[in-house]
Every structure is written in structure tokens, then in C-alpha cells.
């Protein structure tokens, strides 16, 4: 019984050491281009008439993009934007029609975007 227990512990230790080499650090994020792609709001927004919609950011590689109000996959309005990388995980997004802008942060894993108001967006 004692030999079986020692053998089992030895096997578990070998398996743990072997598996440790397979788990490496996550691929580093290239922050200047990490924003490129589509991001959909986690929550919904209310419009006049009680229509609920999601906001979807679409960022292009050339620092342009759009923000779309989306109802069940149908765009009900959109605004052209331009964006720029500011610091490690921060970006500024400017709205071409209003001249206003928002500050966005990307998570360390590159899967979540948060605006300055705490609203979250997930990569689509």
C-alpha cells in the first residue's frame, strides 16, 4: 500500500512538471493595433420609442471606423469615427459629426473594451 501511494505521488509530480512546460505566458498584445475589429456593447441602450439597441464599434487599420446603433443585427444609425492609440492600453475615439470624443481602454487579455463611463464592449 505504501509503495503504491509513493508511486502515485511520483507520477503526479512528473505530470505536473511536464504540464508546466506546456502552459506559457499569453501572447503579448500589440496595443497600437489591438483596437482593430468589431466591439459590441455588453448592455443595451434605450432610444426614443422604447427601442433597445446595442452599440457596435468598428475600427479599421487606417484609424477610421464607425459606431453603429444595432437592433437585432440591423443598423438603425451610424456615425463615422477616427481613432488613435494614446498609451499602453488607451485610445481616443473622435466622432466626425460632433467633434466630441471618448477615451477607451482595452483589457490585458484584449477581449474587453471599456469606455470612460464604465460601459463595456466585447470583441465580436
- The whole-number pLDDT of residue 25 equals 54
How far is residue 67's CA from residue 64's CA, in Å, rounded to a whole number? 10
| Residue 12 belongs to some domain of the structure | no
In the chain, alpha helices (H) = 2-20, 31-34
- Joined grid coordinates for residue 78: 451610424
| Residue 106 contacts residue 89 (beta carbons within 8 Å) | yes
| Residue 23 belongs to some domain of the structure | no
How far is residue 122's CA from residue 113's CA, in Å, rounded to a whole number? 6
| Residue 24 belongs to some domain of the structure | no
More confident: 120 or 20: 120
How far is residue 102's CA from residue 24's CA, in Å, rounded to a whole number? 35
Distances (CA, A) of 119 to 11, 65, 122: 48, 19, 10
User: What backbone torsions phi and psi does residue 86 show, to the nearest 5 degrees?
Assistant: -110, -50
- Residue 114: which domain range? 33-123
Residue 68 sits in a domain of what CATH number? 2.40.128
- The whole-number pLDDT of residue 28 equals 82
How far is residue 55's CA from residue 76's CA, in Å, rounded to a whole number? 10
> How many separate domains does the chain show?
1
| Residue 103 belongs to some domain of the structure | yes
| Residue 27 belongs to some domain of the structure | no
pLDDT tens figures, 44-89: 999 888 889 999 999 999 999 999 999 988 999 999 999 999 998 9
| Residue 10 belongs to some domain of the structure | no
Rounded to two decimals, the pTM is 0.76
| Residue 8 belongs to some domain of the structure | no
Amino acid at each position: 500500500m505504501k509503495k503504491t501511494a509513493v508511486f502515485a505521488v511520483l507520477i503526479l509530480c512528473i505530470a505536473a512538471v511536464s504540464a508546466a512546460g506546456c502552459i506559457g505566458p499569453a501572447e503579448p498584445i500589440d496595443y497600437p493595433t489591438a483596437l482593430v475589429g468589431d466591439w459590441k456593447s455588453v448592455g443595451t441602450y434605450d432610444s426614443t420609442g422604447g427601442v433597445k439597441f446595442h452599440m457596435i464599434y468598428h475600427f479599421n487599420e487606417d484609424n477610421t471606423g464607425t459606431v453603429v446603433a444595432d437592433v437585432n443585427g440591423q443598423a438603425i444609425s451610424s456615425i463615422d469615427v477616427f481613432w488613435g492609440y494614446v498609451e499602453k492600453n488607451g485610445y481616443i475615439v473622435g466622432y466626425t459629426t460632433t467633434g466630441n470624443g471618448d477615451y477607451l481602454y482595452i483589457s490585458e487579455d484584449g477581449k474587453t473594451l471599456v469606455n470612460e463611463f464604465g460601459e463595456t464592449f466585447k470583441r465580436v
